[in-house]
Amino acid sequence: MDTSVESLGECKIKNPLRQVDWVEDNDRILFNLSAGLVEECVKKGQAPISFLKAGPKRKIYFDISKLKCAIVTCGGLCPGLNNVIRSIVLTLYHTYGVTNILGIRYGFQGFIPKYGHPIMELTPNRVREINELGGTILSSSRGHQGISEVVDALERMNIGLLFAIGGDGTFRAAAKICEEIASTGAKIGVIGIPKTIDNDILFLSRSFGFSTAVSCASDVIGCAHVEANGAPNGIGLVKLMGRQSGFIAANASLDRRYANFVLIPESDFDLDGPHGFLAVLEKRIQEKKHAVIVVAEGAGQRYCGVEGFDNSGNKVLGDIGLYLKDRITEYFGENGIEISLKYIDPSYTIRSVRATSEDSVFCGFLGQNAVHVGLAGMTNIMVGTWNEEFVCVPLGLVTTGRKQVDLKGKLWSSVLEATGQPSFKHQVMDGARES
C-alpha cells in the first residue's frame, strides 16, 4: 500500500507561524497499532505502513503575498460544511495572511463558463457566523464536469491552491484534476477534505457530520418508539442514510437502544419464510405488541433495487423504506393482524441541520490542517483522522473502495446484542429484545 504524498516542489519559504508544534517530514502515524504486527515488520526489515502526519511545517511552498486560494463544496449536503469553509478561510487569513480566497459556487459547475455561476469572495466578515447555518453558503451540485475545463479555469483564475470538500465522487474528480494539472506542468495544489454523512470513506476514522447525524437519528428513533408504544400493535419504521454502509443506523440504534430491528446494506436478509424478517416481526408483535425498525437506505436492494446510475456515478437505489412499509402492511393484512404503522424518513432534515458542538470543533481542526499541508506544497491528498491523529492520505488510496460495517466487529456485535435480532436467513433464534 503506497502512502507516499505528492509535492509541488521543495519548500523554501520560512513559515510565518510562531510558537507552534512543528510537524517534521518523518512524523508518521502507524496504519496498524498492533505491537505484534510492528514487531513482525521489524524482524523482516520492513517499515510498517504509516501515514504522513498533518500539521504546520517549518517551511512552506507558496509565496503568501501572491497566493490565491479557492474552496469548493460538492455532492449532497452534510452538517458541518459551513464550519469547514469558515475554518479554512480564518486559518488562511488570520494565521497565514492569505487574503485572496474565492468560493466556487455550485460544486465543480462553478468552474465551467457555460453555467455562469458567480464567484464568491470569502473574507472573515463573510464567514463570521456561517457556522450557525446548515448546508453550505457555496451551494453544491452533483454530476460529471469536464476535467480539462476545471483545470483551465484554475489556471485562468490564477488559483494556486484548491480545497475540495466532498466525498468519494468528489475525490475521484479531484484525483483526475491532479493528473491533468501534472500533465500541464502547472503548480496547483489540490487538498481534499472528506465529507460523507455515511462515514464510509476508506482510511478515515470519522468524517464530519457523522456525529451530528447519529445524534439527530437517535432522536428520531426515540420518536418512533413513542409512536410504536402509542397504539396496539404499533410499528415505528425509520429509514436513515447509508447507501453502502450502515454506520449511522448501527450507531444511532445503540444510543438509547429503542430499536428492535436494524437492517443495513452489509447484512443481507430474507423477508419471507419461517425465519425471514416478516415472520420474526410478527412474533415480536404478538409477544410485545410493538416494534421499532431502523433501516439504512441501501439495505435490501435486491427487493427494490432499480437499474442505472445517477449523475455522480452512484448506483440508483430503490426506496427500501416505502417498500418495507407496503410489504409489512400487506403481510399483516393477509394474516388478519391489525397494526398501526408509522413511517418516518428524516434524511433530508438531518442532512440540513447545523453541526453539533463536537462536529463543529472537529471541522475546525480539519480546516486548519488542510491549510497547513496545502501551504506546504502537498497535493493530491485527503486530510483526515487515523488513530486519533490528523494525517495525509493519497486520493488514489481513498477512492479504491468504501468503508463498511464489519459484521464480525464490535459495532455490529453490539447492535445484535442490543436488539437480539436474528440474521433473518434460515436459522431459528429468539425474537428481538424487549424494550
Rounded CA-CA distance 103/111 in Å is 11
Nearest Cα neighbor of 95 from 159, 22, 16, 162 is: 16
Nearest Cα neighbor of 248 from 226, 219, 225 is: 219
198 is catalytic: yes
CB 258 within 8 A of CB 224: yes
Burial classification of residue 143, based on how many CB atoms lie within 10 Å of its CB (0-12 exposed, 13-18 middle, 19 or more buried): middle
- In 327-412, the DSSP E strands lie at 340-344, 378-379, 381-386, 389-394
- In 186-269, the DSSP E strands lie at 189-194, 234-240, 261-263
Residues 6+ apart with CB under 8 A from 235: 228, 281, 285, 290, 291, 292, 293, 328, 339, 340, 341, 342
Q: Which of 2, 63, 168, 198 is catalytic?
A: 198
DSSP 3-state helix, strand, coil percentages of the chain (rounded to 5)? 40, 20, 45
Catalytic center residues:
198
